[in-house]
Amino acid sequence: MFLALQLLHSHSSSFNMANNTQILNLISMALLLLFVSNSEGYSAAEEEADRISALPGQPKVSFPQFSGYVTVNKVAGRALFYWLTESPNSPSSKPLVIWLNGGPGCSSVAYGASEEIGPFRINKSASGLYLNKFSWNNVANLLFLETPAGVGFSYTNRSSDLLDTGDRRTAMDSLEFLIRWLDRFPRYKNREVYITGESYAGHYVPQLARQIMVYNKKSKHPINLKGIMVGNAVTDNYYDNLGTVTYWWSHAMISDKTYQQLINTCDFRRQKESNECESLYSYAMDQEFGNIDQYNIYAPPCNNSDGNRFTRHSMRLPHRPHSIFRQLSGYDPCTEKYAEIYYNRPDVQKALHANTTGIRYKWTACSEVLNRNWNDTDGSVLPIYKEIIAGGLRVWVFSGDVDSVVPVTATRYSLAQLKLSTKIPWYPWYVKKQVGGWTEVYEGLTFATVRGAGHEVPLFKPRAALQLFKSFLSGEPLPKA
């Protein structure tokens, strides 16, 4: 209705009563828009209201973008923020790929969109953007979701939500978001959907997939979910912790003595470790690691970072029993810092249709409040893997092999517990005639490493990550040459 009236109003000054054809054409267009908006619950008007004309400092692009809020709980006033970047190449024929960052408490806009798989990168002065030629929207329509409420621009009007959130609410709110978002964008309703993410999204992604499967069993309009893919993913408390300590030792980050003490003293299944175990973790990180970036142990540190900021580098992962992460340096360029400058600009927020309610706190890459008050976490998502594999979904898991936070050893230990039979044994896969990593294909799951990549695989190895993504979407094994 709004678009129809706007269309007539915008052309009223140019009407020529002698030109009846022009008037009839405009009325026909207006009535068509009125019919579409009414028949689709005003979706056409809502979609158009979310369209991004251009972001400040953005290079010219050929693909449409949309962003805005979807209310997922009216009583609590919880609304989740999204950013859709469609493909420049036949977007109507491409799947919808949802990307989730973890933390818990970290923003998919800050990481996935701005330094990993999105079409733009933020320049060092945070004055504008430049193109990422390895963006995943070359082959898919990308939907970045800031979840749960309290992350990034997503908000809740019930402040207690920030002190009492976790896996279950995140999955339910994300499902509610997707249902309502598809009502707003009905052209995506029958499209293939894939859910992807990294780190603590190793919980979010399979948990959301399971909720969709449950929803589809009772819905007349099921979501066309085809598969999931997660990278450097938190999976199982015990095996993730065992694999992490083993990685530290095997990569000479800690001494033989400390390794043996950690193995013999710590109960890796516990959420809260003993004081003796906590002390061992502290000693390892403070006295033996040195000034390295745990998210890429071979990357040069970025020493001009603000030491008082709470970012992913200073957070606690729920699968880790200790909360002693020091504020370690990030990557150069320090993209987290640039993101926090750029997305706090009023002109950027206006262009994104963000912060429309005047949130009292600044936009941050990660929420310390959410991270410190995460009260509901699955000890293992392996049972969910079994469910979604049995449900016929495509499942891919990948690991950057120089990440020491959720390292490749942790993922291999965890996946081994599924006891899947091997279809295609371990082999090196290639990109541009170079080994991109190694892979093994199991019945129901593909595992791949990305050689030389840190925790954020697409940040460090963008070309290899794009190849990985293309193979995942096609359902074909990674190339052998």
pLDDT given for residue 279 in this prediction: 93
pLDDT given for residue 145 in this prediction: 98
pLDDT at position 311 over 70 = no
Question: Residues 37, 199, 404, 414: which is the catalytic one?
Answer: 199
Q: Is residue 355 part of a domain?
A: no
β pairing state of 193-198 and 225-231: parallel
pLDDT at position 305 over 60 = no
SS3 per-residue string spanning 170-221: HHHHHHHHHHHHHHHCHHHCCCCEEEEEECCHHHHHHHHHHHHHHHHHHCCC
Q: Specify the 3-state DSSP secondary structure of 272.
A: coil
Q: Is residue 322 part of a domain?
A: no
Q: Specify the 3-state DSSP secondary structure of 450.
A: strand
Tell me the C-alpha to C-alpha distance, in Å, between residue 222 and each of 189, 193, 452.
9, 11, 39
pLDDT given for residue 65 in this prediction: 98
By percentage, how much of the chain surpasses pLDDT 70? 84
pLDDT at position 24 over 90 = no
CA-CA distance, 320 to 331, in Å (whole number)? 23
Q: Is residue 137 part of a domain?
A: yes
If asked whether residues 41 and 145 sit together in one domain, one would say no
If asked whether residues 144 and 170 sit together in one domain, one would say yes
pLDDT at position 19 over 60 = no
Q: Cβ(412)–Cβ(243) under 8 Å?
A: yes
> Which band of pLDDT confidence, cut at 50, 70 and 90, is reported for residue 199?
very high
CB-based contacts of 349, cutoff 8 Å, min separation 6: 153, 343, 355, 363
Average pLDDT over the chain reads: 87
If asked whether residues 99 and 198 sit together in one domain, one would say yes
Question: Residues 108, 378, 455, 471: which is the catalytic one?
Answer: 455
Q: What is the pLDDT averaged over residues 331-356?
A: 85
Task: Please confirm, yes or no, whether 161 is among the known catalytic residues.
Answer: no
Of the candidate ranges 12-26, 270-284, 354-368, the one whose mean pLDDT is the lowest = 12-26
Type of residue at 95: P
Angle between helix 167-184 and 201-218 (nearest 10):
60
Residue 98 belongs to what H/E stretch? strand 96-100
If asked whether residues 19 and 155 sit together in one domain, one would say no
Q: What is the pLDDT averaged over residues 50-55?
A: 97
Q: Is residue 439 part of a domain?
A: yes
CA-CA distance, 19 to 318, in Å (whole number)? 68
How many structural domains comprise the chain? 2
Question: Residues 403, 404, 414, 471: which is the catalytic one?
Answer: 403
If asked whether residues 95 and 220 sit together in one domain, one would say yes
List pLDDT tens digits, range 64-104: 999 999 999 999 999 999 999 999 999 999 999 999 999 99
Long-range contacts of 249-252 (CB under 8 A, 24+ apart): 250/409, 251/297, 251/404
pLDDT given for residue 330 in this prediction: 33
If asked whether residues 41 and 144 sit together in one domain, one would say no
If asked whether residues 131 and 44 sit together in one domain, one would say no
Q: Cβ(149)–Cβ(156) under 8 Å?
A: yes
Q: Is residue 264 part of a domain?
A: no
If asked whether residues 182 and 75 sit together in one domain, one would say yes
Q: Cβ(334)–Cβ(304) under 8 Å?
A: yes
Residue identified by tokens 């594999």 is 389
Q: Cβ(394)–Cβ(183) under 8 Å?
A: no
Q: What is the pLDDT averaged over residues 105-114?
A: 95
If asked whether residues 13 and 89 sit together in one domain, one would say no
pLDDT given for residue 334 in this prediction: 55
Q: Is residue 145 part of a domain?
A: yes
**Nearest of 378, 358, 364 to residue 310 by alpha carbon:** 364
Task: Please confirm, yes or no, whether 455 is among the known catalytic residues.
Answer: yes
**Nearest of 413, 198, 293, 439 to residue 450 by alpha carbon:** 439
If asked whether residues 206 and 70 sit together in one domain, one would say yes
If asked whether residues 78 and 222 sit together in one domain, one would say yes
If asked whether residues 37 and 128 sit together in one domain, one would say no
Q: Is residue 394 part of a domain?
A: yes
CA-CA distance, 324 to 337, in Å (whole number)? 22
Q: Is residue 309 part of a domain?
A: no
Cβ atoms < 10 Å from Cβ of 139: 17
Domain span holding position 41: 2-49
Domain harbouring 419, CATH code? 3.40.50.1820
Q: Select the more confidently predicted residue: 33 or 227.
A: 227
Task: Please confirm, yes or no, whether 414 is among the known catalytic residues.
Answer: no
Type of residue at 328: L
